[in-house]
Structure 1
Amino acid sequence: MPDDLDARSVRRAALRTALQVAAVSTALVIGVLGLAAIVIVQQSRPSELLERAKPGQSKIYVDANEVLVALVAIGVVAIVVVGLASWAISRRAVAPLGTALRMQRSFVADASHELRTPLTVLDARLQVLDRKLRRQEPYDDTLAAARRDARIMIDLVTDLLLVAEASAIDSRTDALAGCDLRPVVLSSVRDLEVLAAERSLTVSATVENEARVGLSELSLRRALVVLIDNALAHSPDGGTVEVVAGVDRGRAVVRVTDTGGGITGIDVDQVFERFSHGPDTGRRRGFGIGLSLVRDLADRHGGRVLVDATSEQGTTMRLELPVVHPPQRGSAVRST
């Protein structure tokens, strides 16, 4: 796994640095103790034992052998302490390297996944645009949608670059920005309808209660697109995907239900782990990253995502997010 490779690389770098520092420190300790031993031996000549102390003067004589043994013991302890300290300091020093490696791999994986769906949508719109041009049909709406997709990708790339530079908007700033749930849900569904149409899938959206959540519009859209796209990928041709949003016990809840065969070949708790895959069903298959991104995004903002239900009749993913402002009760809004 990439994380294991990164961890081993960091440990090797820390070990090499620690050995180099320990070697230099050991040589220094040995040199200092060696000089001290030479001085002590020279100052402990037998002739000194024959000298008489002058009146009022006292002398203390030390056994040179005992001093040398003490110096050796002190040297060994000092070398061990230096080695351990070098290892600890080296690991702390190379820790940013490990973080940088993980961030690099995470950025590449996130960028690959996040750009895949918008590019697929844009490609589908361009195909529709091409057909309309050939048939000389009105194409203004399709062209406008393609331009909107391009703007979304520009915003997405900007967001990913900000994350890579460790200057992305944190959850507190994102919460202050916030966004309304209903328009983002409806627009996310509309954006993916072009993919659903290619396989005769029906996508419906129902917003039972209006609410404002503590995420930016881009962040919420990213999460919803991943969940809806995942439902489309696991639904059979001609099936349906239903998106229902509302408020439950003071939290905004979005349920995305598909009509696939349920989660099989993998534990339900593992579907939100990176690079986790179920069995190959022959349908479009991603890299096992999208749902983990949704989980990370929800966790950062005080929410959660889970498998609400799964069976042979389909699977329901449940996204819960904190509500910034009290919801406005009203009639349900539907879009099909």
Structure 2
Amino acid sequence: YDVILTMDREGRVTAINTEAEEVLGYPVEKLMGHGYLEYLSDAEKKKAAEALRRGLQGEKIRFLELALSRPDGPPVILSLTGTRLYGEGEDAALVIARDVTEARKMELELQERNLLLEEANRRLRELDNLKTELVGIVGHELRSPLTVIYSYSAALKDHWDKMEEKRKLECVDHMLRECNRLNRMVENVLDLSRIESDRLFLHRQPGDLVALLKDVAREMSVTTGSRPIRLVTSVDRMDMKADWDKIKQVVINLLDNAFHFSPPEAEVTVTGDVQDGKAVVRVKDKGPGIPLEHRDRLFDKFTQSKTSGMERGLGLGLYIVRTFVEAHDGEVWLEDEEDQGAVVAFSLPV
């Protein structure tokens, strides 16, 4: 129903249709003779009073929306059209009010759904751009290890009988090194896929971070292309709940990064400590350090080394480190002095 009423110059209701009771929630007898302002919130009173003043001056008011309090529930939103009535008596105004509460509610829901659709479309565009970028980078970066593997395989096949045993082992070592590199690339791409598709779930289990550091250091130290690893911990154990597969990948990626930047036979140092109630792990290399202009994007995806003489990668390792650590409510940061090596550190709550 529409509410139809007349008001005098003071805003008092002088006549009103009986259907108004169903819309407004008040008996029509209570509305008669009362100023309509008392049923409005403070924020709406000024707007309504100004509209009444303009209407009594002869201006036609169209589609003015006001929220009027109901005694039995939330406010009702009214769309008002008003005009001045001319007669022999005092000035009066005719007001027709339509309940648009449900319409505004539906509009709000539609806006929220549109925002969700826009966000979904934006996300799809991001994933499409990511796919295009990833295919280009992977296609380019896979050529390098595959070329090395192919070259050494062909050399072994064609010159097996002429090669010394030492040279054969060197060829195999190079092939194994590139196979490990390929495996790390594949693991990082799979991790990126899980992250970008919001399928990153943590399976937390009790465990000891010190024991994990020892295991990873031992495994990585015998990997072809590795560097000597020195592990220093100030405590015997660091017990916590974590997804240990992901934390292991964090440490592997940090060591792999340190190997890339360290000269051959240079030692990589891993330290474990408890500071301010957090487990803190630092991985220090003896490379050239991180240039100032590259530090801001160090943990972004597809950030690759521009350092001369260093092998490139997919640029995903440190991005995955940051994502996995932050998923555990931890932090990751760089401690660096250019030309003196880099220290990449992360912390986890214990």
Q: TM-score under structure 2 normalisation?
A: 0.50
SS at match of 1:248: strand
Aligned residue among 327, 332, 341 for 1:300: 327
Cα pair distance change 1:128/1:109, threshold 3 Å = same
**TM-superposition CA deviations, 1:6-58 (whole Å, max 9, x none):** xxxxxxxxxxxxxxxxxxxxxxxxxxx9xxxxxxxxxxxxxxxxxxxxxxxxx
Aligned residue among 166, 169, 185 for 2:217: 185
SS at match of 2:337: strand
Deviation at 1:112, TM superposition (A): 7.6
Residues in 2 aligned to 1:243 and 1:110: alpha-carbon distance in whole angstroms:
32
Pairing 1:258–2:286 present: yes
SS at match of 2:268: strand
Question: Relative to total residues, which structure has the larger helix share, 1 or 2?
Answer: 1
Residues in 2 aligned to 1:267 and 1:145: alpha-carbon distance in whole angstroms:
27
The code of the aligned residue for 1:216 comes to: W
Deviation at 1:185, TM superposition (A): 3.0
Cα pair distance change 1:316/1:99, threshold 3 Å = same
Pairing 1:243–2:269 present: yes
Cα pair distance change 1:281/1:224, threshold 3 Å = same
The code of the aligned residue for 1:304 comes to: E
Any conservation in 2 of the 1:227–1:256 contact (CA below 8 Å)?
Answer: no
The code of the aligned residue for 1:251 comes to: A
Cα pair distance change 1:135/1:305, threshold 3 Å = farther
Any conservation in 2 of the 1:185–1:205 contact (CA below 8 Å)?
Answer: yes
Residues in 1 aligned to 2:142 and 2:206: alpha-carbon distance in whole angstroms:
27
SS at match of 1:302: coil
Q: How does 1:28-177 map to 2 (within 5 A)?
A: 69-70=60-61, 73=64, 74=79, 85=108, 86-106=110-130, 134-135=159-160, 137=165, 159=191, 161-163=193-195, 165-168=197-200, 170-171=201-202, 173-175=203-205
Any conservation in 1 of the 2:333–2:346 contact (CA below 8 Å)?
Answer: yes
The code of the aligned residue for 2:332 comes to: V
Residues 294-303 or 113-122, more deviating:
113-122
Q: Where do 5+ consecutive residues of structure 1 fail to align?
A: 1-32, 34-64, 197-202, 324-336
Q: 2:339 maps to what in 1?
A: 312
Q: Where do 5+ consecutive residues of structure 2 fail to align?
A: 3-54, 65-78, 82-97
The code of the aligned residue for 1:185 comes to: A
- Greater relative contact order (Cα 8 A, min sep 6): structure 1 or 2? 1
Q: 1:54 maps to what in 2?
A: none
SS at match of 1:291: helix
Residues in 2 aligned to 1:154 and 1:317: alpha-carbon distance in whole angstroms:
23
Q: 1:230 maps to what in 2?
A: 257
SS at match of 1:266: helix
Any conservation in 2 of the 1:189–1:205 contact (CA below 8 Å)?
Answer: yes
Q: TM-score under structure 1 normalisation?
A: 0.51
Q: 2:244 maps to what in 1?
A: 216
The code of the aligned residue for 2:232 comes to: E
Any conservation in 2 of the 1:308–1:318 contact (CA below 8 Å)?
Answer: yes
**TM-superposition CA deviations, 1:253-273 (whole Å, max 9, x none):** 14131321x222416454324
**TM-superposition CA deviations, 1:140-197 (whole Å, max 9, x none):** x8688888777777766655554455434x23x1456888222223323443x43x6x
Residues in 1 aligned to 2:229 and 2:139: alpha-carbon distance in whole angstroms:
24
Residues in 2 aligned to 1:239 and 1:159: alpha-carbon distance in whole angstroms:
30
Residues in 2 aligned to 1:164 and 1:245: alpha-carbon distance in whole angstroms:
31
Q: CA RMSD in A?
A: 5.2
Q: Identity across aligned pairs (percent)?
A: 15
Residues 145-154 or 175-184, more deviating:
145-154
Any conservation in 1 of the 2:259–2:285 contact (CA below 8 Å)?
Answer: no
The code of the aligned residue for 1:95 comes to: E
The code of the aligned residue for 1:312 comes to: D
**TM-superposition CA deviations, 1:50-84 (whole Å, max 9, x none):** xxxxxxxxxxxxxxx99x94555548997x96997
The code of the aligned residue for 2:216 comes to: V
Deviation at 1:293, TM superposition (A): 2.5
Deviation at 1:242, TM superposition (A): 0.8
Residues in 2 aligned to 1:116 and 1:177: alpha-carbon distance in whole angstroms:
39
Question: Relative to total residues, which structure has the larger strand share, 1 or 2?
Answer: 2
Q: Looking at CA atoms only, which structure, 1 or 2, has the larger radius of gyration? A: 2
Any conservation in 2 of the 1:189–1:228 contact (CA below 8 Å)?
Answer: no
